[in-house]
Structure 1
Amino acid sequence: MSAIRHPKDFWIGAIFIAIGLGAVFLRGDLEMMGSRGRMGPAYFPVALGIMLTVIGAIGVGRSFFRHGAPMEKLHLKPLALVSVAVILFGILMRGAGLVPASAVLVLISAYAHPKFQWKEAGLLALGLAVFAYLLFIKVLGLPIPALGPWLGF
């Protein structure tokens, strides 16, 4: 019998610890920590990383005392598709613009669902692209191109 009684808590805690420690130790060239009253550029990523690490440690600790259902099979296709969608969104934002990047993000992420349907995913992608355009460009005034240079704009 395994000492881990709640595998979901254990693995989500381990993921939080990894992300938290990554934020603390891989913060790039952000050198200045500062203080709570006068925060430097490294303060927020490090503080957030420490909080995530603590939350992860609590989850891992709880996994040894709470009972829970065993982990289901790891579904690699949805995990890979959503990861690819997020990476493509980041790449497409600069070259294609917010509207196409948002639409591609939704379409690829929706394709990860076993009951994927093109019509529903297309309508959702269109709706999110319009919403993102209105919110981020029109309302908030962020300097993001709606359609980028790759599309001739």
Structure 2
Amino acid sequence: MMSRIRNLNDVMVGVLLIALSIFALILARPLNPGTVDAMGPGFFPRLLAAIEMVLGIAIVAQGLLTEGEPFEAWYPRQILFVLGSIAFFALTIDRFGAVIAVAGTVLVSCLARRQTRFIEAVLVAAGMAVFVVLVFRVGLGLPMRVWPWGHIY
């Protein structure tokens, strides 16, 4: 008997998106959605969750209908370092400023791949930190701490 799943990678990603959208809908449930004319705080989260669910269903359908690559193994190292980089950013952005938070986030996420070269990671981290400061602080004028010793402008 032939399996109906032709592309397990797409099916797994689609199921993950559907699960995340259901979780978002549960979290947004207590918020008043309002109407299209007078949107409440729950309108946009529900809209995004619905769009994500539709995309998840479409990706699952694609995985059932089209051939794909063999299922790729998931490695804990990659998942842990990427999630760790997000946690690093969340814990450092207010206290240490944008430069250290962004550079550290890039460096921690680069640890997810064993083949990453240290010099390249440092250059990307520095470039991203400069880019973030130029876009958000200089270009958009957002009040944010750039360095740990600086004030929030």
Counterpart mapping for 1:102-113 below 5 A? 102-113=102-113
Counterpart mapping for 1:4-153 below 5 A? 4-27=5-28, 31-148=31-148
Alpha-carbon distance in 1 for matches of 2:18, 2:95: 34
| Percent identity (aligned) | 32
Shift of 1:28: 7.6
Amino acid at match of 2:140: L
Q: Deviations over 1:94-145 (max 9, x none)?
A: 1111110000011111122232111111111111111111111111111111
Alpha-carbon distance in 2 for matches of 1:135, 1:94: 18
Native 8 Å contact 2:29 2:42 kept in 1: no
Q: How large is the RMSD of aligned CA atoms in angstroms?
A: 1.8
Structure 1: where are the runs of 5+ without partners?
A: none
Shift of 1:152: 7.4
Alpha-carbon distance in 1 for matches of 2:18, 2:110: 28
Native 8 Å contact 2:99 2:146 kept in 1: yes
Amino acid at match of 2:47: A
Partner SS for 1:64 = helix
TM-score (norm 1): 0.89
TM-score (norm 2): 0.89
How many residues get paired? Answer: 150
Alpha-carbon distance in 2 for matches of 1:94, 1:27: 26
After superposing on structure 2, the runs of 4+ consecutive aligned residues of structure 1 that deviate more than 4 Å are none
